[in-house]
Amino acid sequence: MTALDTAAGYPAAAGLEQLLGDPRDPANPFGFAAAVARDAGARFPAEFASELGPRLGLSFVPPEHGGLLSTLDETVLMARLVSRRDGAAMPASMFSVTGAGCVLLAGSARQREEVVRLLAGGGVVGFAMAESAHGSDLLANECRLDPHASGGFRLNGGKWLVGVGERCDALVVVARTGGRGPAAFTAVLLRGEQLAAVRRERPVGTGGLRGIESTGVRFDDVEVPADCVLGEVGHGVEIALKVMQLVRVLSTAANLGCADTGLRLALEFARGHDFGGRALVGHAQPRRAVATAAALVLACDAVALTAARGMHALPAAQCLWSGVAKRVATELSADVFALCSDVLGARSVLRDGPFAAFDIARRDNLVVRHIDTAPDANLRAIASLVAQFPADAPETAVPDEVAAAFRLDDRLPPLRLDRLDLALRGADPVSAAFPGVAASAAAALRGAGESTAAARVRRVEARLTGVVRAMHRLRAGAPADDPRRLDLAARFCLLHAAAACVCLWWFNRERILCSLPAGSAEWLSPVLAVLLDRAGDRSPRLDERDAATAYALAERLHLSNELLSAVPLALADGPARTTGSEAQR
């Protein structure tokens, strides 16, 4: 089996990449030059929306509802391949996921059919929940949906930052129907006459994802028939929060795509730029920066892939896993850009030239951090979940569904959004099963002569247990708003990510990962190093040995035009760009 045979399970993603072509081709509408031109004019990426809208718009819709979903990890890969060319392209072609997800989760058969038909025709479903006066304090929202004598409702008030609100063909609105608490809100689907009565305000642009303009909307006594309600009255917040788990997992693709572009551009520059009579990459510091960035991308990749598979295999755990994936992807991708910008120097902020796509990707990546879940709100939710883990829970065997989330050859059950939950019922499956996995993995690594990797696996186990116990102590003796809870939640996310990387390696040790021989820990050890260091409240770059390993892997995958991923796909890129000393070698 060759390395690229591992992409056989993702035919839609592999075909999409070839369709999009070489991003370095200046004439390619899906390439870097086109992205730079669109960004300069703050233009909507219409080429992506028209070409890919129906395909990506149905990529998260289960086939029983008329969609194109195979598995969610393939959808993440597809969105990542699009985002590496232009971060704005993913929302342009997939912004319907939140609104359409609410309909798929709670809508009637008629509502689902209408929305799927709309998506298949390239239409867009908007989502309106946030209000400018309240931000992430959703339970303070004031927009009202009041009962009317007609048997329906009247909608009054306003919503804020409705993505592609100017373009949407349907709109899901979550508005207040009661007094207090989560049960005071209801979700409705507006189309036709109801949507025509919505007053759309001036779009608001952002520094990144330019052209994806968010719109304010106003409702002035809009008539909403009773059959527009999604699910039941009073379930709006529950529906939205469950669907946000799906959105958070999919949003990791945007971080991965942007970070992939940033890393590749920095690597190309470091290999081709002369400094002191030799290529920049021949110097220890820039080489170490690129290597560290590569390890961070691989960490994000592992977390995104396994969280996406977990949506199928362990849907009830996604209230935690999706939040962890969101936190890890946004934090580590920001680190990737910090490291790579130091390598590129002034070229990292230029708006033209061969590396102009770097600054666009960095700005796009920053905007993704604030889409769907505010960072501190996400950490508060994670802290609350971790604090509810059973104290000193007995070690458990690895359930089949946990193994399926990590074992890439396993057939996944269908995606069931109705099985998502807002609370863990007992322990997190990974945290509970990890001690047994860690013991077996460490023993196997020591037997293969990988003593450093083995020691890191056991360190992940010890620190993960320690963070959970520390959270229990805080719950017992500290006020609810103690900021140390968020600090512990942030550390938990990194350690949970490290555990996911170990599980990914352990359950696929007979399989090729990252184009490496089966069982190789060449990718795992540097990844654990960067995650453990950050979980210890430090952010150093890799040491010399780990840097050499990670750099060699990143360079090999880059030059062979493979995605930097556990499941590498052949990229459509042409030959890597070279300048200076690299071109002369």
Per-residue pLDDT of 433-473, as tens digits, reads: 999 999 999 999 999 999 999 999 999 999 999 999 999 88
Query: Of 119, 138, 172, which residue is a domain's last?
Result: 119
pLDDT score recorded for residue 495: 98
Res 393 pLDDT > 50: yes
* Cβ-Cβ contacts under 8 Å for 19 (sequence gap 6 or more): none
**15 and 65 together in one domain:** yes
In a domain, residue 159? The reply is yes
- Tell me: do 108 and 157 sit in the same domain: no
CA separation for the pair 324, 250 (Å, rounded): 13
The Cα 460–Cα 495 span in angstroms is: 6
Which residues, in sequence order, are bridge partners of residue 171? Answer: 126, 190
Task: Identify whether residues 64 and 129 lie together within a single domain.
Answer: no
| Of residues 81, 82, 55, the one with CA closest to residue 69 | 55
pLDDT 10s digits, 76-101: 999 999 999 999 999 999 989 999 99
18/81 same-domain check: yes
Q: Supply the range of the domain harboring residue 132.
A: 125-235
Say which CATH number the domain at 39 has.
1.10.540.10
pLDDT at 370: 87
- Which residues have CB under 8 Å from 529's CB, separation 6+? 295, 456, 542, 543, 546
Q: Does an H or E element contain 214, and which?
A: strand 214-224
Q: How many CA atoms lie within 13 A of 49 on its CB side?
A: 17
Using the predicted structure, report yes or no on whether residue 544 has a pLDDT greater than 50. yes
Same domain flag for 42 and 140: no
Residue corresponding to tokens 């200046």: 26
Q: Output the pTM of the full model.
A: 0.94
Instruction: Indicate whether 580 pLDDT > 80.
Output: no
Q: What would the pLDDT profile of 259-309 be if each residue is shown by its tens digit?
A: 999 999 999 999 999 999 999 999 999 999 999 999 999 999 999 999 999
Residue 6: pLDDT band by 50, 70, 90 thresholds?
Answer: very low
Q: Are residues 137 and 73 in the same domain?
A: no
Q: What is the arithmetic mean of pLDDT over 184-211?
A: 90
Helices 72-83/236-272 angle, 10° precision = 50
How many structural domains does the chain have? Answer: 2
Residue where a domain stops, chosen among 203, 220, 235: 235
Average pLDDT over every residue of 321-347: 97
Confidence of residue 581 (pLDDT cuts 50, 70, 90): very low
Neighbour tally for 456: CB within 10 Å: 24
Same domain? 183 vs 129: yes
Are both 213 and 188 inside the same structural domain? yes
Q: What is the DSSP string of 236-286?
A: HHHHHHHHHHHHHHHHHHHHHHHHHHHHHHHHHHHHH-EETTEEGGGSHHH
> Domain for residue 498, yes or no?
no
**pLDDT score for 554:** 95
Q: Residue 220 is inside which H or E element, if any? A: strand 214-224
- Please give the Cα distance from 30 to 22 (Å, whole number): 8
Distance separating the N- and C-terminal Cα atoms of the chain: 33
Task: Return the structure tokens found at 469.
Answer: 């116990």
Q: What integer pLDDT is reported at residue 426 of this predicted model?
A: 79
Residue 220 lies in a domain: yes
138 within a domain of the structure (yes/no): yes
Buried residues in 232-248 as b, exposed as e (16+ CB within 10 A): ebbbbbbbbbbbbbbbb
What's the pLDDT score for residue 543? 86
For position 482, what pLDDT does the model report? Answer: 86
Question: Judging by beta carbons within 10 Å of its beta carbon (0-12, 13-18, 19+), is residue 3 exposed, middle or buried?
Answer: middle
pLDDT at 219: 96
Q: Indicate whether 54 belongs to any domain.
A: yes
DSSP per position, 526-582: HHHHHHHHHHTT--PPP-HHHHHHHHHHHHHHHHTTB-SSSS--B----SPP--HHH
Residue 412, CA distances (Å) to 70, 244, 315, 424, 570 in order: 10, 21, 12, 21, 24
Give the residue, 227 or 578, on which the prediction is more confident: 227
User: How far apart, in whole angstroms, are the C-alpha atoms of residue 514 and residue 17?
Assistant: 18
Task: Choose the final residue of a domain: 235, 260, 276.
Answer: 235
| Residues 168 and 215 both lie in one domain | yes
Residue 392: pLDDT over 80: no
Q: What is the CATH number of the domain that holds 206?
A: 2.40.110.10
pLDDT value of position 5: 47
Nearest residue to 563 (alpha-carbon basis) of 32, 18, 47: 18
Residues 109, 167 share a domain: no
Q: Which helix (H) or strand (E) holds 156?
A: strand 153-163
For 362-401, give the DSSP string: HHHHHHHTTSSS-HHHHHHHHHHHHHTSPTTPPP----HH
Query: Does 280 map to a domain?
Result: no
Note the pLDDT of residue 281.
Answer: 94
Cα–Cα distance, 168 to 217 (Å, whole number): 12
